[in-house]
Structure 1
Amino acid sequence: MLTCARTAGIQSRTTQPQIGDADGRIAEQVREHGLVMVDGLGSRASVLAFARRVMTLVPHRHSDPDALTTIRDIGRESQRPGLAGLGTGELHAHTEGSSVPEPPRLMLLVCLRRPVRGGEVFLTDGQAVHDHLAATVPEAVELLSRPGTAFYGDGGGRPSQVFTRHPGGRTSIRYRQDDLAQFSPVVGRFLPGLRAAITANQRTIMLSPGQGYLIDNHRYLHARAAFSGPRLCVRALGRPLFPLQPGFRTDGAGSVAAVLALAGSSSAQCSPPVLDGTETPVSLMGSLSSGGDGDGRSTP
């Protein structure tokens, strides 16, 4: 049974005959908040089944034949640029696919095996980061939205920018901070403030087996603490199977209050609470096949 941790907009139990309605609730949650916490996905097969319900899968260069990517420690190879996510060290806040022409819109990551120590996940709403900077250093938002001020990828990078503006008062975020990211001197002085805004608005999650998150990759940044032990996750990237407008709202509506409500905080002055999977879950879908061998790879 797939469940979703209680978040704004998900309030009641959904029964088997209401699977279609559950899919609609997932879509509504992504559109409104950019984030859905999931539980009950204990195998690779169940992750794949859920992913196919909400997205058209887009293969990654490190994905397996089923288009899911196995996230596990690959040893010294993880020290190469762009492979930090496949190691045991800290992974800085980023969006997926920043160096490709059109980054995938959705990302699903599910834990199948916890590490012995560490491995906390950090999620940051880019809308909150944008609003934070707009309220404190508006010049930073203007320059970080200027085309060609960021370069992501090999060979000098793909010209881009941190914030991309879309019609209708909407904005998306594209960002990484590893060896495959370079920035114009024009925005260099604003990068420490950008990183501080990301940290100030991040939420900490410790995933247990079967738990994970579905995010709007054009809105949410994700990161990970260093860990030890055989941590194992699987990731799906893709295009949504439901309408989703470009980016997030930046027309003055603000997002900080919504983010705090989503995380369960009652005050903007509180430290971000930990979403540790103990929230009362509400069922979003009926039973899914739980095949697979539990190690993140499909059985023959």
Structure 2
Amino acid sequence: MSKAVSFHTFYIDISQENAEELIGSSLETKGLVTFDKIHSVEELRFFCAKLGKSLAHRDSDEYGVTRIVKHDALLPKDSYQAFTDAALTLHTDGSSIAEPATLVVFWCAEPGETGGLSLFVDGKHIYQLLATRHPYVLQTLAKPRSVIFAGAETPLESSIFSTLPSGKLCIRFRYDSLGYYSAPVSSVLPIFLELLDQHKIVFALQKHQGYIVQNRRWLHGRTAFSGGREMYRILLQTATNTPIGQRIHPGFGPD
């Protein structure tokens, strides 16, 4: 069950003089921003440079830009699902590494013919619901070393919810063949998955539209699609020497 929302619900006009301040404020409070007025990968890179430092990735170019299209070549299923036309379950980018990117920037060069809708769930909202309605489930999902996230050279032992050294909370999740859950977590996972489904929002990205998401707060995914869909992704680490980096840090507060 998905709730359709308007692309403009989280929209900021990045051509405004105070755009960076507005982006920082919105990411700090909502954790999700949508934008347009980017017309090329070069413009996207320039825009992202104002937000933080791009991170190299297995599938990115030397600038940290990953082109996400359906590959005709046969790829291993594990960790290459993004390069198919299949659906992507809700997840944290970089779930298997110790320090995932703070921000994920996603930009549409060409939408598909059908499908390819962007899916999101606010992990902060799910945390609050669990704390109020299912505290025993939250306690189980926050137990250290209760989940193994594979995909990197060394699998990572972690938990779905955890507390960062800063004191902020964060969510880390994937629900595919590279996520392995302890028996206690598996027993309460249906409740967690049901909440994700109930509070999932969806919107479509049109040509030259994009979004910025707080990666340690929001889960994101997509529906299956058809046609020549072409997307670009940049993973960013915020830096304290930028206006946005001074405000945006991994994780979220409980309130």
Whether the 8 Å CA contact 2:14–2:36 is kept in 1: the answer is: no
Does 2:120 correspond to 1:117? Answer: no
- Between structure 1 and structure 2, the one with the greater Rg is 1
Q: CA deviation at 1:53?
A: 1.1
AA partner of residue 223 (structure 2): A
1:94 to 91, 94, 115: 91
Distance of aligned partners of 1:15 and 1:246 in 2 relative to their CA distance in 1, 3 Å threshold: closer
Root mean square deviation, CA, Å? 2.1
AA partner of residue 41 (structure 1): I
- 1:77 match: 74
- 1:217 match: 215
- 2:184 match: 186
Query: In the aligned structure 2, how far is the partner of 1:203 from the partner of 1:73?
Result: 24
Query: In the aligned structure 1, how far is the partner of 2:118 from the partner of 2:215?
Result: 15
1:60 to 40, 57, 61: 57
Find the residue that maps to 2:184 and give its secondary structure: helix
Distance of aligned partners of 1:185 and 1:76 in 2 relative to their CA distance in 1, 3 Å threshold: farther
- 2:228 match: 230
- 1:159 match: 157
Q: CA deviation at 1:46?
A: 1.4
Distance of aligned partners of 1:15 and 1:86 in 2 relative to their CA distance in 1, 3 Å threshold: closer
Find the residue that maps to 1:75 and give its secondary structure: coil
- 1:42 match: 39
Whether the 8 Å CA contact 1:5–1:39 is kept in 2: the answer is: no
- 1:204 match: 202
Q: TM-score, normalised by structure 1?
A: 0.76
Paired residues in the alignment total 242
Q: CA deviation at 1:5?
A: 3.4
AA partner of residue 218 (structure 2): Y
AA partner of residue 8 (structure 2): A
1:138 to 135, 140, 147: 135
Query: In the aligned structure 1, how far is the partner of 2:46 from the partner of 2:236?
Result: 13
Whether the 8 Å CA contact 2:15–2:37 is kept in 1: the answer is: no
Where does structure 1 lack aligned partners over 5 or more consecutive residues?
254-300
Does 2:247 correspond to 1:249? Answer: no
Query: In the aligned structure 2, how far is the partner of 1:143 from the partner of 1:191?
Result: 10
Whether the 8 Å CA contact 1:40–1:211 is kept in 2: the answer is: yes
**Deviation by residue 1:204-253 (Cα, 9 ceiling, x = unmatched):** 11110111110110001001100110100000001124122441111xx3
- 1:298 match: none
Distance of aligned partners of 1:65 and 1:173 in 2 relative to their CA distance in 1, 3 Å threshold: same
Distance of aligned partners of 1:102 and 1:168 in 2 relative to their CA distance in 1, 3 Å threshold: closer
AA partner of residue 61 (structure 2): D
Distance of aligned partners of 1:215 and 1:82 in 2 relative to their CA distance in 1, 3 Å threshold: same
- 1:24 match: 21
Query: In the aligned structure 2, how far is the partner of 1:168 from the partner of 1:51?
Result: 25
Distance of aligned partners of 1:14 and 1:106 in 2 relative to their CA distance in 1, 3 Å threshold: closer
Find the residue that maps to 2:53 and give its secondary structure: strand
Query: In the aligned structure 2, how far is the partner of 1:27 from the partner of 1:78?
Result: 38
Q: Between 165-174 and 41-50, report the one with greater CA deviation.
A: 165-174
Distance of aligned partners of 1:22 and 1:194 in 2 relative to their CA distance in 1, 3 Å threshold: same
Query: In the aligned structure 1, how far is the partner of 2:9 from the partner of 2:189?
Result: 34
Q: TM-score, normalised by structure 2?
A: 0.88
Identity %: 28
Find the residue that maps to 2:28 and give its secondary structure: helix
**Deviation by residue 1:30-60 (Cα, 9 ceiling, x = unmatched):** 1111111111222111111111111110011
Whether the 8 Å CA contact 1:109–1:213 is kept in 2: the answer is: yes
Query: In the aligned structure 2, how far is the partner of 1:163 from the partner of 1:216?
Result: 15
- 1:266 match: none
